[in-house]
């Protein structure tokens, strides 16, 4: 499989199809700014005064070693009791997500992942959409548990929506027909790495998060409300915020039962 690349987000050169500057547009329900072009788009929804963020350049990359990375990975858990009063600012959260996003690998450096970050009323609106959508599909006598779960997600500080830009993925499939059937799975794998990286970074900031998959039930309405391009495929939703309770107990199968380590080649191996 071709190796990925971690080229940082940057404004495009003019020969890449844009004017070399980040795009900005006002919407009916808030403001969004798309940071970068083919390197990956971050759409930020929320009060305009609180959506300021900066382009990430290599010189701003944090220096970390494994002694810091491994504890952060260990501490990343699904936290469902989330609040709206984190100890870090919205701006700091945005900068961290941008920095993580800038260095994510992807097959053939395709960079097809897209994310939308929701704060404030825009975050609440998302979970209202989820609530109303499921209310139409779940029997009333069984909806109580579902309602409580979704209300809990709405109590979080924000949500990250993860997408894949299918025009990019399909374009690479056409460009490299020998691997055409692999680009869809490769895009999903790259998006999974992005989800894990952002989740771990949020945990490292002292925030809790969990990962949900209400797609494709909510796809059409979410696309309409937030004016998401029709070619963007919704993959996951990650509510995050202040930790109100610790994650529950988790059982794991011993790593030794799931991992093989091979050394010298056997004589009979050809």
User: Is pLDDT above 90 for 30?
Assistant: no
Q: What is the pTM of this model?
A: 0.78
Segment 195-211 shows an average pLDDT of 97
- Triad 230, 110, 45: Cα angle to 5°: 45
pLDDT digits (tens, 9 = 90+) for 53-81: 334 434 344 445 667 889 999 999 999 99
Confidence band (pLDDT; 50, 70, 90) for 266? confident
User: Is pLDDT above 50 for 21?
Assistant: no
Task: Report the pLDDT value the prediction gives residue 269, as an integer from 0 to 100.
Answer: 83
How far apart (Å, rounded) are the C-alpha atoms in residues 125 and 132? 11
CA–CA distance from 134 to each of 127, 140, 198, 217 (Å)?
10, 10, 27, 8
Element spanning 39, H or E: none
How far apart (Å, rounded) are the C-alpha atoms in residues 146 and 134? 8
Question: CB–CB of 81/243 below 8 Å?
Answer: yes
pLDDT digits (tens, 9 = 90+) for 107-123: 999 999 999 999 999 99
Task: Report the pLDDT value the prediction gives residue 22, as an integer from 0 to 100.
Answer: 37
Return the higher-pLDDT residue of 160 and 3: 160
CA atoms within 13 A on the CB side of 228: 30
Task: Report the pLDDT value the prediction gives residue 161, as an integer from 0 to 100.
Answer: 98
If DSSP codes are grouped into helix, strand and coil, which group holds residue 24? strand
Confidence band (pLDDT; 50, 70, 90) for 43? low
Task: Report the pLDDT value the prediction gives residue 7, as an integer from 0 to 100.
Answer: 39
* CATH hierarchy code of domain 14-257: 3.40.109.10
Q: In terms of Cα–Cα distance, which of 5, 98, 94 is closest to 51?
A: 94
Segment 192-218 shows an average pLDDT of 97
Percent of the chain with pLDDT over 70: 76
Q: Which two three-digit tokens encode residue 20?
A: 């070399």
Task: Report the pLDDT value the prediction gives residue 270, as an integer from 0 to 100.
Answer: 75
Backbone conformation region of residue 192, classed left if phi is above 0, alpha if psi is from -120 to 50, else beta: alpha
Residues 6+ positions from 197 with CB-CB distance below 8 Å = 100, 104
Sort 130 into a burial class: Cβ within 10 Å, 0-12 / 13-18 / 19+.
Answer: buried
Task: Report the pLDDT value the prediction gives residue 169, as an integer from 0 to 100.
Answer: 98
Instruction: Give me the residue spans of the domains in the chain.
Output: 14-257
pLDDT digits (tens, 9 = 90+) for 250-261: 899 999 999 999
Question: CB–CB of 157/229 below 8 Å?
Answer: no
């Amino acid at each position: 499989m071709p190796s990925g690349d971690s080229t940082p987000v940057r404004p495009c050169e003019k020969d890449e199809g844009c004017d070399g500057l980040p795009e900005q547009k006002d919407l009916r329900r808030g403001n969004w700014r798309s940071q970068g072009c083919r390197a990956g788009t971050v759409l930020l929804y929320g009060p305009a005064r609180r959506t300021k963020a900066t382009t990430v350049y290599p010189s701003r990359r944090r220096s970390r070693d494994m002694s810091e990375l491994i504890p952060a990975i260990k501490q990343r858990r699904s936290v469902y009791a989330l609040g709206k009063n984190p100890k870090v600012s919205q701006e700091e959260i945005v900068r961290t997500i941008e920095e993580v996003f800038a260095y994510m690998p992807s097959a053939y450096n395709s960079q097809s992942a897209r994310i939308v970050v929701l704060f404030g009323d825009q975050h609440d609106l998302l979970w209202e959409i989820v609530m109303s959508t499921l209310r139409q599909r779940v029997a009333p006598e069984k909806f109580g548990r579902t309602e409580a779960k979704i209300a809990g997600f709405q109590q979080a500080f924000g949500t990250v929506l993860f997408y894949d830009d299918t025009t990019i993925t399909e374009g690479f499939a056409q460009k490299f027909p020998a691997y055409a059937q692999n680009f869809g799975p490769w895009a999903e794998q790259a998006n999974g790495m992005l989800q894990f990286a952002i989740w771990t970074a949020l945990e490292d900031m002292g925030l809790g998060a969990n990962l949900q998959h209400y797609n494709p039930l909510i796809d059409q309405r979410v696309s309409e409300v937030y004016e998401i391009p029709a070619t963007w495929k919704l993959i996951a939703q990650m509510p995050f915020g202040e930790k109100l309770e610790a994650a529950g107990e988790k059982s794991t199968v011993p790593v030794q039962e799931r991992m093989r380590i091979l050394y010298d080649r056997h004589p009979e191996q050809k």
